[in-house]
Chain A
Amino acid sequence: MLAKADRVKFRLQDGFLWKTTFLCLVSCNSDALMQGQFDAYRTEGFFDEMFGEEGRVRPHYAKLLERFRELGEEEFLRKRLLAERSYLDQGITFTVYSNNEGTERIFPFDVIPRIIPASEWSLIERGLTQRITALNAFLHDIYHEQRILKEGVIPSEMILTAKHFRPEFMGFDVPGNIYIHICGSDLIRDGNGEYLVLEDNGRCPSGVSYLLENRQAMKRVFPKLFSRYAVRPVDTYTQELLTVLRHIAPGGNPDPTVVLLTPGIYNSAYFEHSFLARSMGIEIVVGADLTVKDSKVFMKTTQGLRPVDVIYRRIDDDFLDPTVFRKDSVLGVPGLVEAYRKGHVSLANSIGTGVADDKAVYYYVPHMIRFYLSEEPILQNVPTYLGSNADDLAFILDKLPELVVKATNESGGYGMLIGPKSTHDEIESFRKAIIADPRNYIAQPVVALSRSPSYCDGRIEGRHIDLRPYILSGEKVTIIPGGLTRVAMRKGSLVVNSSQGGGSKDTWVCDDDGE
């Protein structure tokens, strides 16, 4: 006979450890009515996506402006609420952690789309294809002959000291010779409207689910707008991603089992992991769902072990396998790296791509393009100063209050100093850190990021934006039209990261230039 206490326990799920999170709604002020909507809009000297010189609407935005002017203010607000409601109902939220308690937030969504004309997109597409080709060639080279180091194009020191360089994988041939299968490169536009590359994310770039959901929301809320524009569709992304993942299956297996490996429900990008797995019809697994036997990876099912061929992992190298990388990782799968080395399982992205994410290595991407492809870069980098270069270092320390300084291995808007917006103490503490470890810092001038009209605090105002296109490398390179446009929702802010209060908007690539 079971004791009472045991029986209480049996009515509850074993090992059910999820803490309950409570939802916090980002409220919006719907009382404030917009006055004259776009008429009161000012570009304030910034490059504006929608309005050109003397406040004239750019041709590709003309029909949008027309439609928004037809729209009453009440209707506009109603549509905005409708969009928010649909995000909430679907649980499209990310989790912010503090004091061990998670709070779910909606990723703020702005209903005024960003439009990229066909000619601009074609340039971006060619530039990004060139860039990913060079990055993949670079990664192959670094883990094999290291020609680019031997010929002195990049100082060896720079690579060998990079935090995410994996010397364990020297001489290892990755499936299909593709290192970065999924890349998210951040683009910004400067004061003249020129597109510049701010950074490349070659490990586990996130955000693509927001891009896809933003489009769904816009179609639901503004169906008529889509009939006025020939907007290129984005919804083939997940099928193209699956094609890439199947392409790299070991031994050219025509019917491989593909899974998505997530750190779990507490990860801030969990929604995205689940979304992608659902959209591709593949299993989403946590480390504990997998096991390695005889250097082969299996998942634990109700009918026993089932072999796994390809893993789309959304876990950084460090946490993949506690027997090889971080010993304290509970997210990974013991023996996974050995299975990968033996060619029994493929990973996307490959191990060791983080070296290309390093912000000091970023400096050399234009050099890589010339070195491997004998071409001139189509998209330029933001001017960058390296802490490891003596002249640059002197310049950085001299101009610190005017520069943006970034730690080379941080992401998500962390480890960053925006000189003009920082206090004396913040600047001085960065100065100390840079002097202590110059290799770990780069600096860039403050770029006046382009702005786009956005609905904030009850009116339409310019907000700074960037663009993260998603680049897939499989048999060929494919880029989803547009990308995720991130918006710094706080007035004057240049930081667009969701962890720092950023939002997003739908991004349209049109079949023409609107002229």
Chain B
Amino acid sequence: MEHPMLSRAADTCFWLSRYIERAENTARILDVNMQLLLDYDTHASDAGKHHWQPLLASLEAQELFAKLFDRIDAETVMQFLTFEKQNPNSIISSICDARENARTIREQISSSMWEHLNRLYLYLQSPSAKSDFLGSPHDFYRRVVEGSHLFQGVTDATMSHSEGWQFIQVGKYVERADNTSRLLDIKYHILLPSGEQVGGVVDLTQWMAVLRSCSAIEAHLKATGGTLTPWNVAEFLILDDAFPRSIRFCVDQMDEGLREIGGGTRGAFRNEVERISGILRSNLDFANIDQVYDCGLHEFLDGIQLQLIEITAAMTKEYCVWLAE
């Protein structure tokens, strides 16, 4: 029988996984935003600013950004979110943190997992990462995304699917749910100030960009029979039960992971973390998009982010109570 794992190692698995998923999501968002910029008239005053500001807002990073840079444009924001080590959520910081976490639990993860992560880290630290980025940001971001996919695939294929793996799954899906909610929130920021554009051509382009940054465009079109409206995009990314980046899907997987760890069954709970995770899951199971818009899209997404924080805190309290000592 497998012994229970060290609390510190469980916590480390969880965060290691979150940081990798975060790097992937940041790369996705930047890639798509950069392409979206091509549809704007970039010479129009403040176009860049309106474009990038909501992104910083959704990441709650405006303050730090203002300390480091005196102008908001593609160059500064991409630098800030990609290579800036002072930004704890930049791609490079996320990968460094993931690797430092992995380094402390190499006996928990497989050698191949470590080697893939270490290689990605070495690449990002190297001068060729910078030159690749300058040469083609799109290729660079795709490489980061693929680095994350490779890591996740290697994790599934080479690590025992026991407790440590479950913590990695929970970390991945918590982070992904959080990121998808933030991505939709960016859209909210863009929509509100200039109401007359809603439903216009630019609006549609932007919703398509949101889908694209989740690799969701084909899946969405298939699911909706080819129609694309802001409503059904939001509905798809929040409530679809089969698409792996929708919030509902992620929460469902997170909930399953937590129950695998705690030994609970679906529809019942054995501890606080299973209880509040189950509430969020069933809320999403029985929600519809009208309810989301009645609540207010921003408020709804904000509520999900808060619940994810509470679930994480309850998980730490349940399994890693020692870490607080």
Q: Which residues of A have CB within 8 Å of B200?
A: none
B152 at the interface (CB under 8 A from A): no
By beta carbon, the residue of chain B nearest A280 is B107
The answer to whether B4 touches A277 (Cβ under 8 A) is: no
The answer to whether B7 touches A300 (Cβ under 8 A) is: yes
Q: How far is the CA of A91 from the CA of B114 in the complex (A)?
A: 8
The answer to whether B322 touches A300 (Cβ under 8 A) is: yes
Q: How far is the CA of A332 from the CA of B305 in the complex (A)?
A: 39
Shortest C-beta distance, B298 to chain A (Å), equals 14
Shortest C-beta distance, B175 to chain A (Å), equals 9
Within 8 A of B (CB), among A269-317: 270, 274-275, 277-278, 281-286, 288-289, 291, 299-304, 306
The answer to whether B60 touches A265 (Cβ under 8 A) is: no
Interface locus among B34-42, B98-106, B208-216: B98-106
The answer to whether A89 touches B4 (Cβ under 8 A) is: no
By beta carbon, the residue of chain A nearest B93 is A20
The answer to whether B163 touches A14 (Cβ under 8 A) is: no
Name which of A11, A21, A291 has the most chain B CB atoms within 10 A of its CB: A11
Shortest C-beta distance, B223 to chain A (Å), equals 30
Q: A15-B323, A90-B114 are in contact. Are A283 and B89 (CB under 8 A)?
A: no
Q: Which residues of B have CB within 8 Å of A281?
A: 107
Q: A12-B88, A302-B163 are in contact. Are A88 and B4 (CB under 8 A)?
A: no
Q: How far is the CA of A299 from the CA of B7 in the complex (A)?
A: 9
Name which of A2, A4, A8, A282 has the most chain B CB atoms within 10 A of its CB: A8
The answer to whether A13 touches B125 (Cβ under 8 A) is: no
Within 8 A of B (CB), among A11-36: 11-16, 18, 20-23
A7 at the interface (CB under 8 A from B): yes
Q: How far is the CA of A10 from the CA of B163 in the complex (A)?
A: 23
The answer to whether A7 touches B60 (Cβ under 8 A) is: yes
B24 at the interface (CB under 8 A from A): no
Q: A20-B96, A90-B115, A302-B261 are in contact. Are A274 and B89 (CB under 8 A)?
A: no
Shortest C-beta distance, B58 to chain A (Å), equals 12
The answer to whether B309 touches A89 (Cβ under 8 A) is: no
The answer to whether B97 touches A301 (Cβ under 8 A) is: no
Shortest C-beta distance, A69 to chain B (Å), equals 34
Q: Which residues of A have CB within 8 Å of B295?
A: none
The answer to whether B15 touches A13 (Cβ under 8 A) is: yes
Across the interface, A289 reaches (CB within 8 A) one of B8, B103, B107, B125, namely: B8
Q: Which residues of B have CB within 8 Å of A10?
A: 309, 312-313
Across the interface, B6 reaches (CB within 8 A) one of A270, A278, A299, namely: A299
Across the interface, B118 reaches (CB within 8 A) one of A22, A91, A277, A278, namely: A91
Q: How far is the CA of A387 from the CA of B108 in the complex (A)?
A: 49
Contact with A along B59-70 (1 / 0, CB 8 A): 010000000000
By beta carbon, the residue of chain A nearest B121 is A23
Q: How far is the CA of A304 from the CA of B321 in the complex (A)?
A: 9
The answer to whether B306 touches A2 (Cβ under 8 A) is: yes
Q: A11-B89, A89-B118, A90-B115 are in contact. Are A18 and B7 (CB under 8 A)?
A: no
B159 at the interface (CB under 8 A from A): no
The answer to whether B322 touches A278 (Cβ under 8 A) is: no
The answer to whether A286 touches B118 (Cβ under 8 A) is: no
Across the interface, A11 reaches (CB within 8 A) one of B5, B163, B178, namely: B178
The answer to whether B322 touches A90 (Cβ under 8 A) is: no
The answer to whether B85 touches A20 (Cβ under 8 A) is: yes
Q: A4-B60, A15-B323, A278-B106 are in contact. Are A286 and B8 (CB under 8 A)?
A: yes
Contact with A along B187-206 (1 / 0, CB 8 A): 00000000000000000000
B43 at the interface (CB under 8 A from A): no
Q: How far is the CA of A18 from the CA of B101 in the complex (A)?
A: 8
The answer to whether A7 touches B15 (Cβ under 8 A) is: no
B10 at the interface (CB under 8 A from A): yes
The answer to whether B125 touches A16 (Cβ under 8 A) is: no
The answer to whether A22 touches B125 (Cβ under 8 A) is: yes
By beta carbon, the residue of chain B nearest A21 is B100
B270 at the interface (CB under 8 A from A): no
Shortest C-beta distance, A211 to chain B (Å), equals 18
Q: How far is the CA of A15 from the CA of B163 in the complex (A)?
A: 22
Within 8 A of A (CB), among B278-325: 305-306, 309, 312-313, 316, 319-320, 322-323
Shortest C-beta distance, A292 to chain B (Å), equals 13
By beta carbon, the residue of chain B nearest A279 is B107
B150 at the interface (CB under 8 A from A): no
Q: How far is the CA of A270 from the CA of B107 in the complex (A)?
A: 12
B50 at the interface (CB under 8 A from A): no
Q: A7-B305, A265-B103, A283-B107 are in contact. Are A89 and B119 (CB under 8 A)?
A: yes
Q: How far is the CA of A7 from the CA of B306 in the complex (A)?
A: 8
B122 at the interface (CB under 8 A from A): yes
Q: Which residues of B have CB within 8 Å of A302?
A: 4-7, 10, 163, 261, 319-320
Across the interface, A283 reaches (CB within 8 A) one of B6, B93, B319, namely: B6
Across the interface, B3 reaches (CB within 8 A) one of A7, A22, A89, A301, namely: A301
Q: Which residues of A have CB within 8 Å of B11?
A: 13
Q: Which residues of A have CB within 8 Å of B309?
A: 2, 7, 10
Q: How far is the CA of A277 from the CA of B6 in the complex (A)?
A: 14
B265 at the interface (CB under 8 A from A): no
B158 at the interface (CB under 8 A from A): no
The answer to whether A278 touches B107 (Cβ under 8 A) is: yes
Q: A91-B118, A277-B107 are in contact. Are A301 and B6 (CB under 8 A)?
A: yes
Q: How far is the CA of A428 from the CA of B85 in the complex (A)?
A: 47
Q: How far is the CA of A11 from the CA of B179 in the complex (A)?
A: 11
By beta carbon, the residue of chain A nearest B61 is A8
Q: Which residues of B have CB within 8 Å of A90?
A: 111, 114-115, 118
Q: Which residues of B have CB within 8 Å of A286?
A: 8
Q: Which residues of A have CB within 8 Å of B60?
A: 4, 7-8
Q: How far is the CA of A302 from the CA of B7 in the complex (A)?
A: 5
The answer to whether B115 touches A288 (Cβ under 8 A) is: no
By beta carbon, the residue of chain B nearest A19 is B100
Q: Which residues of A have CB within 8 Å of B101?
A: 13, 16, 18
Q: A90-B114, A301-B3 are in contact. Are A13 and B261 (CB under 8 A)?
A: no
Contact with B along A398-422 (1 / 0, CB 8 A): 0000000000000000000000000
By beta carbon, the residue of chain B nearest A15 is B323
The answer to whether B122 touches A88 (Cβ under 8 A) is: yes
Q: A89-B118, A291-B322, A301-B3 are in contact. List 15 more A-B contacts (CB 8 A).
A: A10-B309, A13-B15, A14-B316, A14-B323, A18-B104, A20-B96, A90-B111, A282-B107, A288-B322, A300-B7, A301-B6, A302-B4, A302-B6, A302-B163, A303-B4
Sample 15 A-B pairs with CB under 8 A, ordered by A number: A2-B306, A7-B305, A10-B309, A13-B97, A90-B114, A265-B100, A265-B103, A274-B107, A278-B106, A282-B107, A283-B107, A285-B6, A286-B8, A289-B8, A301-B3
**Chain A residues within CB distance 8 Å of chain B:** 1-2, 4, 7-8, 10-16, 18, 20-23, 88-91, 257, 264-265, 270, 274-275, 277-278, 281-286, 288-289, 291, 299-304, 306
